[in-house]
Structure 1
């Protein structure tokens, strides 16, 4: 029985002044000089945007971020957060444009590169996605999620060894990263011959970390 071709991927949201995050680490204030800051005197707008985002009121969140851009249209972090809003609203083309603006104004914002890579990957633009994830890792080498996403893209090309290596890096950086454990288990089961016992350990670790059971993997481990 063949295992699913695609590894698990968790949708990635970007960050605002207060973090809207899923499967991503919050910004480290110590690195703000590198990652960028929101425009001055926009605390109220930032709070409004975060509240709207939490309510999934994309129109209100968009309006708040656009008002911030009216004050500073070269702010990379605002462009990133607007990109997250457009992504969640289903406006993929606009989201890509926003993240491209973000990295144009601040190439050091690794999470913008990662978000851009995810969108391009979903559009089937695999080579550009690899370039984005690689740049994200260059900017933030300790970002386990960027390694996981790069592994998924490598897997799509059939580059199994490279994918396994990136997943192992992700786990080394973040031992409690359940999705990476699951993905590595899947890769190990696709080896010829499969590394069943090692895959079982990673799969059980993934379950212990909250990843949902997978019927295909469960059956394969019993073979």
Structure 2
């Protein structure tokens, strides 16, 4: 959707809100559209209002967690996703997001547990599959990392971060030819491989 389309949709939703001001889903949808415009402060207000209207709207907590993550607030992100997971225990996304936060904090074992839970609820959850591969890499399980990232690639062949992680694992295994292949695949998806990676590969020959 173009920006003008998103803005038009917001006006349409706001018109609906005049008719039914207690509708939590409309507040939620307006919030999501403001997120698309990267107007996170306005989005936050609508999402919080959605929760006030309907405290069990788990998706709204997840979106607020996304805004917190965008602001660099890991604690806020985790807290919102934890609330969402308690409301809808089998909702994969908050478990995946909590796994990502655990990983950012360096708590790899907790990350792996959360990510496996997310995948058990939704095996097609590409981001969780790839993040689990990253967790295995951080744990030093290079073969586990490669096998797990391949699962993400099988689901979404253009998922650049998974190729990048596979490249890092191959570098650690001293398989520089395979590493170069994976980094090139990552770049072909539009993912930006760090310049120092290429320097290291050049030095390795």
Q: TM-score of the superposition, structure 2-length normalised?
A: 0.79
- Cα distance between partner residues in 2 of 1:61 and 1:158: 39
* Unaligned 5+ runs, structure 2: 1-5, 7-21
Alignment of 1:161-200 (within 5 A): 161-191=143-173, 194-200=174-180
- Cα distance between partner residues in 1 of 2:163 and 2:156: 10
- Cα distance between partner residues in 2 of 1:67 and 1:86: 16
What's the RMSD between the two structures over aligned residues? 2.2
- Cα distance between partner residues in 2 of 1:75 and 1:181: 35
- Cα distance between partner residues in 2 of 1:155 and 1:189: 11
Aligned CA distance change for structure 1 residues 95 and 215 (closer, same or farther; 3 Å): closer
Alignment counterpart, residue 111 of structure 1, candidates 82, 85, 93? 93
Aligned CA distance change for structure 1 residues 177 and 74 (closer, same or farther; 3 Å): same
- Cα distance between partner residues in 1 of 2:26 and 2:85: 25
Of structures 1 and 2, the one scoring higher in RCO (CA 8 A, sep 6+) is 1
Counterpart residue number, 1:215: 195
When structure 1 is superposed on structure 2, of 75-84 and 41-50 the one drifting more is 41-50
* Unaligned 5+ runs, structure 1: 1-17, 19-39
Between structure 1 and structure 2, the one with the greater Rg is 2
Aligned CA distance change for structure 1 residues 100 and 174 (closer, same or farther; 3 Å): same
Question: SS of 2:198's equivalent?
Answer: helix
- Cα distance between partner residues in 2 of 1:52 and 1:206: 30
Counterpart residue number, 1:102: 84
Q: TM-score of the superposition, structure 1-length normalised?
A: 0.73
Higher helix share: 2
Indicate if the aligned counterparts of 1:58 and 1:86 stay in contact, CA closer than 8 A: no
